[in-house]
C-alpha cells in the first residue's frame, strides 16, 4: 500500500496562477547560476526565515540558498528534490524542515515521507552533510497536533541515527512556551502555552524572537558541519550585523 506522504507529487494549481511551479522554476535557475555552501529546503518555516533580519546576519554570509515553499507537504518537497532542484549544485550542507502541513497523515506516514526525502537527497548529494530539523510545537494550547509532532520527532530520532552524515536537530519545545507557575509541573508540549511573541499565529515564527529560537541552534549545527567556528557574541537586534565577521571566518 502506497503512502501519500512518501509519493512525490507537485502541488495542484487550484488558484490557476501556476505560482508553485513558477517558484520551482525559479529555484532551478538559482541552482544553475549560484554555488551555495548551504541549501535550506522545506515549507513556510524555511521560506519565511529568508525574510527575518537573522537571515542576513547569520545565513547570508554562509552562501545559503533558500528553497522553502509555503504550504509544502512532504510529497511536494520530495517531488522538487527528484525534479532538479539539487541537480546543479554541490552544497556542503543541506537543511530539511517539513511535515507540519501533512494534515490527515499519521505520524508513521509523515515520518515515512520525511525519510523518503532524506533518501532522495542522499542519492542526489551523497557528499553533503544533511541536517533534518524536527517539527516544532504548534497551537496556543495543548492539542493533538503537538502530540503528533512529538511522535514524529521520536521516530525521526531513531531512524536517522542509522544514517551517516545526517544530523537530527530537535529544537527544545520548551523554548516556545511561557514559563510555568512556580512550583508547578514542568512545562512540556502537553501543558505549555505558546505566546504570540514567538509564533504570531501559533504556527509561524515571529521574525525576531521566534526565529532566534530556531536560527541559533541551526546556525551552530551548520557551523559544525562546515568546520567553521564563528563566535557569535549576540544575536539581539540592538547589535550590528555579524555578516562581516562570519564571512571573514569562513575565508580563513
The set of catalytic residues is 44, 201, 204
Neighbours of 44 (CB within 10 A): 19
121: which 3 cell numbers?
Answer: 537527497
Paired residues of 131 in beta bridges: 95, 167
State the Cα–Cα distance between residues 166 and 31, nearest whole angstrom.
Answer: 22
| C-alpha cell read off for 81 | 528534490
State the residue for C-alpha cell 522538487.
Answer: 80
Helix/strand/coil for 175: helix
Separation of alpha carbons 183 and 160, rounded Å: 37
- Please give the sequence-ordered ranges of beta strands (E in DSSP) within the chain, or none if there are none: 38-42, 64-68, 93-97, 129-133, 166-169
Q: Residue 232: is it exposed, middle or buried by C-beta count within 10 angstroms (0-12/13-18/19+)?
A: middle
The Cα 217–Cα 101 span in angstroms is 23
- Which residues, 6+ apart, have CB-to-CB distance to 75 below 8 Å? 4, 5, 6, 7, 8, 9, 113
CA 139, CA 202: separation in Å to the nearest integer? 5
For 42, phi then psi, to 5°, come to 165, -145
Amino acid at each position: 500500500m502506497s503512502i501519500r506522504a512518501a509519493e512525490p507529487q507537485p502541488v495542484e494549481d487550484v488558484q490557476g496562477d501556476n505560482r508553485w511551479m513558477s517558484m520551482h522554476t525559479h529555484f532551478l535557475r538559482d541552482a544553475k547560476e549560484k554555488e551555495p555552501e548551504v541549501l535550506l529546503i522545506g515549507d513556510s518555516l524555511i521560506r519565511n526565515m529568508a525574510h527575518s533580519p537573522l537571515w542576513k546576519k547569520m545565513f547570508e554570509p554562509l552562501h545559503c540558498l533558500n528553497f522553502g515553499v509555503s504550504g509544502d507537504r512532504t510529497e511536494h518537497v520530495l517531488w522538487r528534490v527528484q525534479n532538479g532542484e539539487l541537480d546543479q549544485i554541490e552544497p556542503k550542507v543541506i537543511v530539511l524542515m517539513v511535515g507540519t502541513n501533512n494534515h490527515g497523515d499519521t505520524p508513521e506516514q509523515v515520518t515515512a515521507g520525511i525519510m523518503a526525502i532524506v533518501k532522495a537527497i542522499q542519492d542526489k548529494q551523497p557528499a553533503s552533510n544533511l541536517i533534518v530539523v524536527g517539527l516544532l510545537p504548534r497551537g496556543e494550547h495543548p492539542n493533538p497536533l503537538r502530540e503528533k509532532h512529538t511522535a514524529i520527532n521520536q521516530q525521526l530520532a531513531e531512524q536517522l541515527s542509522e544514517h551517516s552524515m545526517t544530523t537530527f536537530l530537535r529544537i527544545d519545545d520548551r523554548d516556545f512556551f511561557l514559563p510555568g507557575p512556580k512550583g508547578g509541573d514542568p512545562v512540556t508540549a502537553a501543558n505549555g502555552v505558546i505566546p504570540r511573541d514567538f509564533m504570531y499565529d501559533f504556527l509561524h515564527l515571529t521574525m525576531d524572537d521566534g526565529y532566534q529560537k530556531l536560527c541559533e541552534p541551526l546556525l551552530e549545527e551548520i557551523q559544525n558541519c562546515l568546520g567553521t567556528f564563528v563566535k557569535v557574541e549576540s544575536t539581539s537586534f540592538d547589535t550590528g550585523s555579524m555578516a562581516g565577521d562570519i564571512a571573514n571566518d569562513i575565508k580563513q
